[in-house]
Structure 1
C-alpha cells in the first residue's frame, strides 16, 4: 500500500503493561469496504481502557485504545450506504451483524465480540495504524481505537446523531453511559413504581440512576463510599443513598424497600459487592452485573436464597443495546432535559490523558472526556 493512502495523525499509545499513555505521531490508512474514517472530536475514558492498559484483558501491545469516540465522518469506504462525509457520529462497540445473537437484536452478545473488540486487529488480522517508524500499532479496539485524532470504524458501529446535540459530549453514550442506562431499560426492564438499587455510583451506576428515573422507578437507592458521588446521585434522581463504609447496605435496602429491591445493578467488579446486591434483592428480584473484574474472577452467593427467593443474576454487556437505535434515543432524552448525563462529565485536553486516567481511578472524576479535535 503506497504512502498516499495514509494520513498523518496523533495517537495515545499504550506500549507496556501499566505504562503511561504516550501521545505520538502515527499514520492511519484510508477506509475500505464498509469502513468510515472519523475525525475524532472527543473521546470518553472508561474503566475498560484502564484495565486493558494494565492487561487484565489480554489486548496485544503496543496498542491505541479508546472506545467512546465521537466525531465527524471524513471519508467512507465503497460499501458504505447509510453514512456520508460530514455526518456527526458516535462510535460504539464492534459486532459481526450476522451471527444468531446479532440477528436476534442482541449484538452485544455477538459470537465474535471478543475478537472484534479486544484482538487488536480487524477481522482479517490487519491493523489500520502505524507508528512513526512504520511499525504496526494494534488497533480496532472496540472497532475504533479513538484515543487518536482520526479513527477507522465500521458503518454498523458508527451511529449518526443529530447535529443539534453537542458532539464533544456524546462519546460516552457509545459505552459507559449506554451500559448503565441500557442495563436498566433494555436488560432489567425496570418498571414504573418499582424499586431499584445501584451498587456503585460511578458513571455507569449514575447513568443507571438517570435511566431508572426515566423508567418510572419510585424508589432508587445508590450505594457507594464516596460522599460526593452520593450527593450527585440525589441530585440526579436517587431517593436514598447509602455509604457502605458507614452502614450495612443490605439491611438498609431491605428496610427502605420493605423486604428487598425489585432490581439491582452491580458496577464495581468486586465479588463481595455482587454478593451484597444479590442479598439485597426481594423475592423474584433480578441483579444485573456490569462490573468487569480480572478474567477468572469468581463470586459466591447463597444458593438457597437464590432458589427460594426466585432471584436471578443477569450478566449484561453494553446494556444489551442496539446502538443504532438506543444512542439516538438517549440523545433525544438529553435534549429534552430528561437524561442530564452531562453532569457526570469533566473535559480534559488530549495531552492530559494520563491525568484524566488518574483522576478517574481515584474517583475524582466520574467520566473524563478528552477533547481531541475541533
Structure 2
C-alpha cells in the first residue's frame, strides 16, 4: 500500500437515517491522492444545509458524514498538489470541477457538476474515502470535504489558504454561510453606495448580508425577522431599520422606510410567501437574490407584470457567487480590520454536542454554531 493510501482512525458524526440524530462514531479515512489534501479539522460550522440534508430535503445517500464549513491544518498532500503545503492553515469551501464553462469563467458555484460534487456522497469515480468501524463504506465528499470529522479530505481547488495569525477555529463558516450572505451583496447584486437594501431573515446568512451592505455603503439597510434579539443584533451590525414581521406588514413597512421600495433585497428564509412579499417590495429596477433553501418542488407566485413593467429581477444565488480563493481572504481581512465582525454570530460547541447545536440552531437560540473538533 502506498503511503498516500494509508488509513488513519478518526472520529466522525454520522447521519444513518432520515431525520435521525447525528451519531458520534469511530471511522477510518484514507490518505490524499491526486490533487487532494488531508486536513486536520480544528473547527467546523454547522449550517442549515447540513440539517436539511440530514432530514432529506435533498436526496443525498445515507449513511453520510456531513459538514461543509471546515477549517484546519493540512497534514498531507497528494502528488498533484502545487499551491498548498503541509502546515498551511485552510478554510474549506464548496466543490467544483474546475473546467466546465461556469468554472472557467469564474463562477464555480454554478458548476455543471455542482450537485454531484457537493451532494453526491462520493468522489467523482464513485468511491468513498471513509469506512466505519465495521469496515463498511460511509458516504462522504459532502461539499468536497465532509468536515464533521477530526480529519477530512478536500481538493486543492476548495481548500483556501488563510493567514496563520487569523483565528482558525472561527473561520470555517466563511466557506459557506457567511460567504453566501456577504457574497450575495458584494458579488451577486453588487449593492452600491447610497442604495437601499432589505434582508428577509436575520440568521447567520442574513446578518452577514447586513454587515456586507454596510461595507458596500448602502444608505438604508433593513432587516426583517420575527426574533427580537436578532433584530437588535442586526441594528448593532449595521441595519438602519428593523421590521418585526409578526406585528408589521412587510411590504407596507419596507415601502414606508424606502418610498417606492428597495433597490436590493435578499431572501434567506426559504419561505415562498416571504419571497413573494420581497418581490412586491422592490423598487423599479430592483433585484432580489434568493439564497434560502426550500424543499424540492417548492413553488412561489408573483405578478408577472410587476416584474415586466418595473424592470424588477429575481435571481438565485449559490455560495455568494464567490471565487473562494479571492473572497474568503478578503472577508478575513475585513474581520481583522474590525469591519466585518462575524464573530458576533458564533456560539462554540464540542463535536460531542452536535445534536444540541443543531437543536439550538433550529430553535433560533444560536445563530451560527461552530463545532470545536481539534486543537
Matching residue of 1:262: 263
Matching residue of 1:54: 55
1:252 aligns with 2:247: no
TM-score (norm 2): 0.99
Q: Deviations over 1:7-63 (max 9, x none)?
A: 000000000001000010000000000000000000000000000000001110000
Q: Deviations over 1:160-204 (max 9, x none)?
A: 000111000000000000000000000010000000000000000
Matches of 1:119 and 1:156, distance apart in 2: 18
Matching residue of 1:178: 179
Matching residue of 2:99: 98
After TM superposition, list the pairs within 5 Å mapping 1:330-349 onto structure 2: 330-349=331-350
Cα distance, 1:234 vs structure 2: 0.1
SS at match of 1:172: helix
SS at match of 1:242: strand
Q: Deviations over 1:313-353 (max 9, x none)?
A: 01000000000000000000000000000000000011000
Matching residue of 1:72: 73
Q: Deviations over 1:292-316 (max 9, x none)?
A: 0011111001111111111000100
Matches of 1:129 and 1:8, distance apart in 2: 10
SS at match of 1:293: coil
Matching residue of 1:42: 43
Matches of 2:278 and 2:124, distance apart in 1: 37
Matches of 2:45 and 2:306, distance apart in 1: 39
After TM superposition, list the pairs within 5 Å mapping 1:1-374 onto structure 2: 5-374=6-375
- Structure 1 residue ranges (4+ consecutive) displaced by more than 4 angstroms after TM superposition: 1-4
Matches of 1:157 and 1:369, distance apart in 2: 20
Matches of 2:16 and 2:283, distance apart in 1: 47
Cα distance, 1:2 vs structure 2: 8.1
Matches of 1:310 and 1:116, distance apart in 2: 35
SS at match of 1:11: strand
Matches of 1:194 and 1:69, distance apart in 2: 34
Cα distance, 1:249 vs structure 2: 1.3
SS at match of 2:256: helix
Matches of 2:280 and 2:241, distance apart in 1: 18
SS at match of 2:29: strand
Matches of 1:238 and 1:107, distance apart in 2: 30
Matches of 1:274 and 1:253, distance apart in 2: 14
Pairwise CA RMSD of aligned residues?
Answer: 0.9
Q: Deviations over 1:101-148 (max 9, x none)?
A: 000010000000000000000111001000000000000000000000
Q: Deviations over 1:69-103 (max 9, x none)?
A: 00000000000010000000000000000000000
Matches of 1:258 and 1:295, distance apart in 2: 35
1:297–1:238 Cα change, 3 Å: same
Uncovered stretches (5+) of structure 2, i.e. residues with no partner: none
SS at match of 1:234: helix
Matches of 2:307 and 2:218, distance apart in 1: 23
Aligned length: 374
